Chains A and B, each alone.
Chain A
């Protein structure tokens, strides 16, 4: 008898207690699900352009990928065939010039920022300006090099193009190399100092060898970014339909993949437009290779 009463009371209590189990259709839970659905939609929407671009590159650009296209001179207006050889070489040479200038300066500056004097006025200013320069419009690098170099040399040249790229690569190299060098454990450096090493020895024998994978990641990302740049080359390197001709040729207008795409995209000829797609595919492949290399190297962490 008493058991039944307590059972009844218990059931009454349970009924008056708030329902703790959430229901799918309850307001708050439903709202949460709707938001999640919207987020999925937005994420897929954001991924759409990438797949569309990749599809077009493979479908339109892939058709013309062959040795002939990769090595021959670009066609003139009504010509059929032709290729993008000079543009590939030109992009390689100018990115090479940019890398040869920006990588040594960038890494040395990063050593200063990370190791030698991280908290001086110079270090703070340099770091700040490097960050500001990462948002520097690339076309202005072109305008700057035009004013400083092209006017003085009286000619568009691969040198000018390479220097414009160096201006854009420098901040990326500095900032990523600084981060990478800061990752080197303090203990390792302390151990070297404890053995009586000078700063130069610690940097050359401990910090740099240990931090180099991270530094390379930044360098490769900077190279990948520079390969895709076109605005700074527009009126520094201009364009050319011929291969670079030896050392002398570096002082003459030079062709590049990105400017070839820009020039050919607006032409009313199917042949040129096809080549623009092929050049885009080649350019994206080059950039992806550098990005993948950067990722593989960057995976090594302490």
Chain B
């Protein structure tokens, strides 16, 4: 070996791949094909298994389950309209707040407001907001946010109580703290996807606007926002999808009360927090009903997410032609 340092190379360099090499190649292709198929099987199995478990309840309670309002284990009456309402209401409120904040942050980060280093600091802050677990937000909501907003909320109720949004006082957990925490939790999703949407707009477009003498905000509002609008819409829809399925923080903050109210300060419930709070102690019949509720949640989130991905695909195609 010492005399010819290339000996080990020379023996290997010529000749076609051996039967072992071909075998390894075939094997690897088969294995990775199988791995890719796993995700298809997984999704199919999830839908099948949830459907199978919920089937008895679907037969027994029928469509009435979706639009009736009582959840009474003793009387075996189950309805999830209040939960569907709470899920949509809390998610819409969160989308309103988190959407505005998220898009504002995306503008802030992409439209040359900041020095590179400062913008990296804000980027890190947004990423850290996404990294904090849901339960920690829940804990923070209970011991910081609720005491913080309670005086303001009760003042609003006392002075503007005739207004349906302020119809009740905030005694503790309720819609407002839940929606606020939810807004913080979807902000990073909305911001990240919107940042991508803004970055996809060719730089020429902005230069053309500046060249016509626009101020920075005229360029942002009249050129950049409309150009990135489909990507931002995708960000909002996907953020909404996130909010619909968010569980722990809501289970801790929304009050788990089976009622439909417009009031921001009334306790409510969502599908996900109904599952979280009722499942561990549920008897066999209630488990079936909860499986039905899980199917409803699955259907809503799948629809919203697929819609969001579809818009995102259309938005990407607009600039990249694929």
Contact = CB atoms under 8 A, between A and B. Distances in A.
Contacts of B96: none
B36 interface: yes
Report the interface size class on chain A: 35 or more
B134 A230 contact: yes
Contacts of A198: 17, 21-22, 24-25
- Among A203, A227, A262, residue most surrounded by chain B Cβ atoms (within 10 Å): A262
Contact of B247 (A32, A108, A138): A138
Interface stretch (B62-70, B73-81, B156-164, B290-298): B290-298
Nearest to A281: B136
Contacts of B29: 116, 199-200
Given A126-B40, A143-B50, A280-B139, A50 B128 contact: yes
A104 B34 CA distance: 12
Interface stretch (A39-47, A78-86, A184-192, A240-248): A39-47
B39 interface: yes
Interface in A133-190: 133, 135-140, 142-144, 146-148, 167, 170-171, 174
Contacts, number: 259
Interface in A177-218: 196-201, 203-204
A31 B136 contact: no
Given A49-B184, A129-B40, A283 B279 contact: no
A123 B122 CA distance: 36
A43 B143 contact: no
Given A144-B49, A144-B50, A39 B107 contact: yes
A143 B28 contact: no
Contact of A31 (B42, B131, B184, B217): B217
A130 interface: yes
30 contacts: A43-B108, A104-B35, A108-B36, A111-B28, A116-B33, A122-B33, A123-B36, A129-B40, A129-B43, A131-B309, A135-B242, A137-B245, A137-B301, A140-B298, A142-B275, A167-B46, A170-B38, A199-B25, A200-B24, A200-B29, A228-B133, A229-B133, A230-B133, A230-B248, A258-B248, A273-B143, A276-B139, A287-B132, A291-B127, A291-B131
Interface of A: 28-29, 31-32, 35-36, 38-40, 42-43, 45-47, 49-50, 52-53, 56-57, 60, 104-106, 108-109, 111-113, 116-117, 122-123, 125-126, 128-133, 135-140, 142-144, 146-148, 167, 170-171, 174, 196-201, 203-204, 224, 227-231, 234-235, 238, 258, 261-262, 265-266, 273, 276-277, 280, 283-284, 287-288, 291
> What 4 A-B pairs come out closest when comparing CB atoms?
A137-B245, A228-B133, A108-B35, A112-B32
